Amino acid sequence: MPRRCTALLAVLFALPIGAQAVPGPESAHFEVVVAEATKALCDKRIAVLAELPSHGEGQAFALKAAIARRLVERCGFETVAFEAPIYEFLELERRWGFSHPSALDLDRAIGKFWWARELAGFRRWLHGQAESRRLRLVGIDDQISTTSVLTRSFLPARIADRNGNARTATCLATVARHLDWSYDDRHHFGTAEQRELLQCARDAASAAGTPKGAALSSDGATGAPIDAAMVNNFASYVARQLEPADSRSRDDALAANLLWHLAPGTWHLARGRANSKIIVWTATVHGSKQGGLEVMPMGKRLADRYGNGFGVVAISAYPRRIVDGRPHAFDDRAGAAGNAGSEGSGRVAPACLARQQGARGPGSGAIATARKIRQR
């Protein structure tokens, strides 16, 4: 009996390739779907490759990687933007081609969600492309990851330096404690500590010349220095954690940072240029083009701005191979999370590639619209 896969998608894409079951990379049909997706996205200014928010569908990873590489090699896409902290990537941007960041440096910037065996070759390719300056790799998130090693080493000082001599030492210690989460009985994350952290972040943002607590402006304003971008993103992140009702949403920050990366003249090496093309590696809840939601997704903002120049491909798999951030996979077809070993002994189910069929977006019950399609 043929297996079935179900596309569980909150946001899909309005492109002419339809919903398709996708077997593994060794299958001829895998190549057919990669070619069709590439053709559908090739002329876009922004091409979003989306996955479920669980960030764990291994076969979908393989498909996204194949499409992304094809878009770079055949369609002139110059940048890959990850739903990952902006700070680490901006620091790596200073270093590519000079101090030679390692593959591990890039893996840490991308984050553990994508430390999957299915993406090992893709990450090596990305490292080589970035080191040779053929491809820009950027982050668009204002959050900070557990793997943001470089960020923890430099960001506290950059925040503290913009708080004036009288507060430099206090802010240096306060920000470092938060990034390391090194709170103790003397310094616990209570009201006073939170107030100090927020004040340090906002004062640094004010000194950098942008609105307090805000990410970069959503109009993609040019000329913002790299350090100012980091400082203002940190202020946006802290404000959202401590005063969510009065702060910008995470999707606001994702969209604003992506627009900033797209704007010509923003980069300290003047690498940005008009009409550059960018691939966005993110989750469906952020890539959604659906409006009318409590929080407007990044994708809706970008679709409104770029129209037909914006395209989304959403990929999932069910039953599926799930990855857990290590270079092996485990199989959850029976609801278990058993370790399948370094070679991944679980059976690999087909991935699903689907287009919009009235799905309503994140947090709106869109998964109820899932469609079952037969594996080819």
Domains by residue range for the chain, with CATH: 4-143+271-374 (3.40.50), 149-248 (no CATH)
- The answer to whether the beta carbons of residues 365 and 10 sit under 8 Å apart is no
Query: Distance (Å, rounded) from C-alpha 47 to C-alpha 68?
Result: 9
H, E, C per residue of 87-107: HHHHHHHHHCCCCCCCHHHHH
pTM for the full predicted model: 0.78
Mean pLDDT by 10 residues, the chain (376 residues): 33 46 67 90 95 75 92 96 95 83 93 86 94 93 94 95 93 97 93 96 86 39 66 95 91 93 60 76 90 88 94 71 42 27 31 36 29 27
Query: Distance (Å, rounded) from C-alpha 54 to C-alpha 61?
Result: 12
Cα atoms in the Cβ-side hemisphere of radius 13 Å centred on 319: 13
Query: Distance (Å, rounded) from C-alpha 312 to C-alpha 15?
Result: 8
Task: Please give the pLDDT value at position 266.
Answer: 54
Query: Distance (Å, rounded) from C-alpha 339 to C-alpha 200?
Result: 44
**Paired sense of beta strands 136-141 and 4-7, if any:** unpaired
Task: Please give the pLDDT value at position 318.
Answer: 54
Task: Please give the pLDDT value at position 268.
Answer: 40
Place of tokens 């802290």: 238
Q: Where are the alpha helices (DSSP H) in the chain?
A: 28-41, 58-75, 86-95, 103-110, 120-131, 149-160, 168-180, 191-207, 226-242, 250-262, 284-287, 298-306
Q: What are phi and psi of 245, to 5 degrees?
A: -65, -25
Place of tokens 């369609």: 75
Query: Distance (Å, rounded) from C-alpha 101 to C-alpha 84?
Result: 17
- What value does the CA radius of gyration of the chain take, rounded to a whole number of Å? 21
Task: Please give the pLDDT value at position 227.
Answer: 85
* DSSP state, residue 308: G
Task: Please give the pLDDT value at position 94.
Answer: 82
Mapped onto helix, strand or coil, the DSSP state of residue 65 is: helix
